[in-house]
Amino acid sequence: MEFTREGLIGLVRALLKRRGYNISSQEFSSVAYDIIASDEENIFIIKVLYNVDTLKQDVANELKLLSKIIRAKPLIIGVRCGLGLLEDYILYNRYDVPVMSFKTFLNYIARDELPIGFAAPGGFYVKIESRRLREARERSGVSIGELAKAANVSRRSIQLYEEGKTAVSIDVLIRIENYLNVSLIERINPFEKLPEPEGVFSEPNNEIEKDVQEIFRNAGYRIYFTKKTNFDALSSLMEDVFFIGFTRMRDETLIKARMIEEIAELTEKYGLLLTDREGMEKYLPVINIKELKNKDIDTMKSIILEKKFRNF
């Protein structure tokens, strides 16, 4: 059964809710992600695509950046790629972001079942339990040459499998397992190693962004300006993370404040909405950038928390 993108988003949201996750509001999705979901142990940042090959590198980079900074698990859930429907139980990747079908994700979330293989040029491959392979071969009295002949591979390939230095195609694995009468698949953790963001991220392009960059850099923080999210910048130092938005229009301020507050609460980080317009901070959940200039980070946090509790 094929899904539309909108239908798939609905299925993913419903699944996460059933599993006890807190999830972001659907109207607050962005180009970089459709769903942010969190529970006591995990944060997922999920992009849903009908065709996963339509993922753009700049979108993937911001997804990876956000995931790295807040220690979340980035994921693409899709229906098909250029070669056809995504296979269930198989892990794909695009720009080093894990990609899987809805059924594969369902098994991961609901049953703690990891994918059994991964897609790579040439087909589908699996990781093999190298120590178990060697022990099974030796226990059966089978030589490397005999097993290589039965699996239709070289002796060197069998040696590499036993050393855990290479993956094996599914058809070769089946021949080895049948010959030794043993299960050898090592399931794959999609999030064993979080992907690193690549490339140069946006620089400030107006005075308020330049002021914010100076404030946070002077406090020892790194700051990244984003274009594919519904906030405008991320700033981090160790465990401290700020989701930062900029506003000059009264009409957009409440909506943007709610978006930033929601993502901050889901991820247990700080949300910060800034303006350089005089007077807005008297009536709206926004901080004038002048309030943060020449302040140490503890004072900045106190100002942010006071504004949060006064306005929400």
Tokens representing 311 are 């306005």
Residue 196 token pair: 């690193």
For the chain, what are the domain ranges? 5-116, 123-186, 207-311
At 265, the amino acid letter reads E
Positions of the chain with pLDDT lower than 50, given as ranges: 309-312
Amino acid at position 153, single letter: V
* pLDDT number for residue 87: 96
Q: Same CATH topology for 5-116 and 123-186?
A: no
pLDDT score recorded for residue 311:
46
Predicted local distance difference test score (pLDDT) of residue 312: 42
Q: What is the pLDDT of residues 237-259, one digit of tens each?
A: 888 898 999 887 777 778 888 89
Is 36 strand, coil or helix?
strand
**Angle of CA points 140, 188, 101, to nearest 5°:** 130
- Those residues with Cβ within 8 angstroms of residue 139's Cβ, 6 or more apart along the chain or in another chain: none
Among 234, 204, 238, smallest CA distance to 63 is for 234
**CATH code for the domain defined by 5-116:** 3.40.1350.10
- Separation CA 137–CA 115 (nearest Å): 25
Those residues with Cβ within 8 angstroms of residue 43's Cβ, 6 or more apart along the chain or in another chain: 36, 37, 70, 71, 72, 73, 266, 267
Burial of 219 (0-12, 13-18, 19+ CB in 10 A): middle
C-alpha 231/C-alpha 160 separation (Å) is 47
Nearest 5°: the CA angle 240, 70, 235 is 50
3-state secondary structure of 1: coil
Q: Is the dihedral of CA 121, 122, 127, 129 positive or negative?
A: negative
Superfamily assignment of 123-186 in CATH? Answer: lambda repressor-like DNA-binding domains (1.10.260.40)
Whether the Cβ atoms of residue 211 and residue 289 lie closer than 8 Å to each other? yes
Q: Which two tokens stand for residue 26?
A: 């659907």
Query: Under CATH, to which class is 207-311 assigned?
Result: alpha beta
Contact predicate 68/198, CB 8 Å: no
Using alpha carbons, select from 71, 52, 32, 59 the residue that is nearest to residue 199. 59
Question: Which pair of structure tokens corresponds to residue 198?
Answer: 């690549």
pLDDT of the residue at 279: 66
